[in-house]
Amino acid sequence: MGRKFAWFGGGAVALIAVAVGVLWVLLQSSGAATVDNALEDFTAAPAAAAEPLDGAPVPGVYTYAVTGDERISRGALGISRSVTGEAPFIIRTVDGGYETELRYSQDHTEWVRYAIRDDGASAIWGQSEVKALGIGDRRPREWEPQPLRLPTNPEVGDTWAGSYKSGTLDIDIASDILREDRIEIDGAQVPVVVIESVQTIRGVYAGGRTEEFWLDPETDLVVRYKIRSDLEGPIDFSIAADHTLTSLTPQT
């Protein structure tokens, strides 16, 4: 009986070890976000497809080809997972501007809402949702004042900077137009300007973020986007990713 109990105990430990291993593998991956689901959500709100204001991109569902990874941790425990693949990118028309929704996966989505003004597109609201195994939350935040992100008449050498509130966070942003460039999209060379935005973040989450926008002034689309972000807080989160549009024409 003793030997049987010892064997059962060892078997239970082995099963627990396997379960933990499976759980760990699951945590390292996330279900893909699909263009079909993005299209379904886009078409469910007819106002989202309304004609854009001057200075706003055409609404619809685009796709970014993404390479990169992200890490979520709390104390000594953390998971790393790839964001490499295709990410649906939804652009919706809203009053006074437009909203973007970038779906890295079923467990990570980023939203930004922009107001169109004479000087360009300014961020007025944002929201992040990052989950693991379906557990997580959304963090909406309004910007005050509202930072210019994508200028109307960008010229190399232009700079602007300021201090802002994003929800409860204090953020300093310094932006520069670095250079002109060309990006190949669907076989065509697209002229762009490259804008760099460097952020210093303080508050319940603290750290730094650098973003680069390859902006096509003709379509008002960010045809390439790079981000490097490292934030410490109740849950630490970092991401490094490079995104390139697969087409300038959205699905609707």
Q: What is the pLDDT of residue 16?
A: 36
Q: What is the pLDDT of residue 31?
A: 84
What's the pLDDT tens digit per position in 171-200?
A: 999 999 999 999 999 999 999 999 999 999
Least confident stretch, 4-18, 32-46, 99-113, 210-224 = 4-18
HEC-encoded secondary structure of the chain: CHHHHHHHHHHHHHHHHHHHHHHHHHHCCCCCCCHHHHHHHHHCCHHHHCCCCCCCCCCEEEEEEEEEEEEEEECCEEEEEECCEEEEEEEEEECCEEEEEEEEECCEEEEEEEEEECCEEEEEEEEEEEEECCEEEEEEEEEECCCEEEECCCCCCCEEEEEEEECCEEEEEEEEEEEEEEEEECCEEEEEEEEEEEEEEECCCEEEEEEEEEEECCCCEEEEEEEEEEEECCCEEEEEEEEEECCCCCEC
Centre a 10 Å sphere on the Cβ of residue 96 and count the other Cβ atoms it contains.
13
Q: How far apart are CA 147 and CA 136, in angstroms?
A: 28
Q: How far apart are CA 117 and CA 38, in angstroms?
A: 28
What's the pLDDT tens digit per position in 193-221?
A: 999 999 999 999 999 999 999 999 999 99
Q: What is the pLDDT of residue 1?
A: 43
Which of the four pLDDT bands, split at 50, 70 and 90, describes residue 50?
Answer: very high
Average pLDDT over residues 21-48: 77
What's the pLDDT tens digit per position in 108-148?
A: 999 999 999 999 999 999 999 988 755 566 789 999 999 99
Which of the four pLDDT bands, split at 50, 70 and 90, describes residue 26?
Answer: very low
Q: What is the pLDDT of residue 78?
A: 82
